[in-house]
Amino acid sequence: MEKWECTSCGYIYDPEKGDPENGINPGTPFEDLPDDWVCPQCGVGKDFFQKLS
């Protein structure tokens, strides 16, 4: 599963870790994150993320 990077603050979303503090279980691919999920570090939406290759 691919990691995605927040272009606003550099936070890396790692699907293997998920974002449990905000209700996202480990193993959740980025595409499956709810539309209203925001970067846990700076608060911008999914739209600001780009795939880390």
Give the footprint of other proteins on this chain (CB under 8 A): 5, 7-10, 36, 38-39, 41-45, 47-48, 50-53
- Smallest separation, CB 49 to other proteins (Å): 11
Place of tokens 């927040």: 6
Shortest CB 51 distance to other proteins, Å: 7
Total count of residues recorded for the chain: 53
Show the tokens assigned to 42.
């700076």
Distance CA 40, CA 18 (A): 11
CB of 37 to other proteins, least distance (A): 11
